[in-house]
Amino acid sequence: MEWLNYHHLLYFWVVAKEGSIVRASAELHLAHPTISGQIHRLEEVLGEKLFTRRGRRLVLTEAGHIAFRYADEIFSLGREFVDTLKGRASGRPLRLVVGVADVLPPSLVRRFLEPAFRLDQPVQVICRADKSVQEFVAELALHRVDIVIADGPAGSGIPVRAFSRLLGECGTTFFAAPKLAASIRRKFPHSLDKTPFLLPGAPSMVRRALEQWLDSQEIRPRIIAEFDDSALAKDFGKEGMGVFAAPTVIEAEVLHQYRVRVVGRSEAVRQQFYAISVERKIKHPAVVAICEAAKQNIFAGS
């Protein structure tokens, strides 16, 4: 494997920016021959000429322009790295990578993440739902993910020391298309017995809470489908395929977006939402904003 000498690259980059070895020498506090020799070594390693002379001026070759673009990016990232570790703001947007349990309603995830976009500095959010919560938690330790938002705390069986912070909790509302809702609303919850029902996917806390509650009420709905994706369950529900459940905190949004009706509510079916990180004390400004806003705004009345 060929290793790039970053000192040589730095000298080249400064010369390219300054336009001459004389000005680069003053900037780097190095002698002209030292800089010239290091650039020649870099050219030998790359097998390309990086500069050509036009009169007294040094001009970048085509390979030199390519090298300069890469060098500019490399040293800009280096400055950002140091600024980040020292807590200084950089010119780049703050990057936030969020792993999201796919069982969470998209509208609730949006409300969780909105405070990150209201920070004074620009933020770039990468929201992922392509892995299980356990896989996302494992990626926290590798710093591929900054925070995981899930419907339960990090499990005890994971090989990562993670900290789970409760964002909030609320009861559960049951919804159905208008015709179905009208036929079962009056005798809720026992009217759910033998009623077509759209159940959340198996590896979720809300699934277990629902099953325990239904068993305690001796209610046996007719399960016609299971969905890991909560938005897909709502789409089926609005077409009259069955009753579905959602956190009461987003009840108004579900009614407006899907044109369904409330069948009933249960405070006994509690839904909890957690922010999971590997930091005991959260430092990322966007994560701090998300945690504070969830408690003060989203779940303030729950």
pLDDT at 2: 65
Sketch out the chain's domains with CATH numbers: 6-85 (1.10.10.10), 94-168+273-298 (3.40.190.10), 170-270 (3.40.190.10)
pLDDT at 213: 97
Average pLDDT for residues 262-285, to the nearest whole number?
A: 91
pLDDT digits (tens, 9 = 90+) for 69-88: 899 888 888 877 777 666 55
Task: Report the relative pairing of strands 51-54 and 57-60 from DSSP bridges.
Answer: antiparallel
pLDDT at 200: 92
pLDDT at 195: 97
pLDDT at 78: 84
pLDDT digits (tens, 9 = 90+) for 193-249: 999 999 998 778 999 999 999 999 999 999 999 998 899 999 999 999 999 999 999
Kindly report the length of the chain.
302
pLDDT digits (tens, 9 = 90+) for 89-120: 556 678 899 999 888 999 999 999 999 999 98
**Long-range own/partner contacts, residues 74-77 (CB < 8 A, 24 or more apart):** 74/6, 74/9, 75/10, 75/13
Burial code (b: 16+ CB inside 10 Å, e: under 16) for 261-283 equals ebbbbbeebbbbbbbbbbeeebe
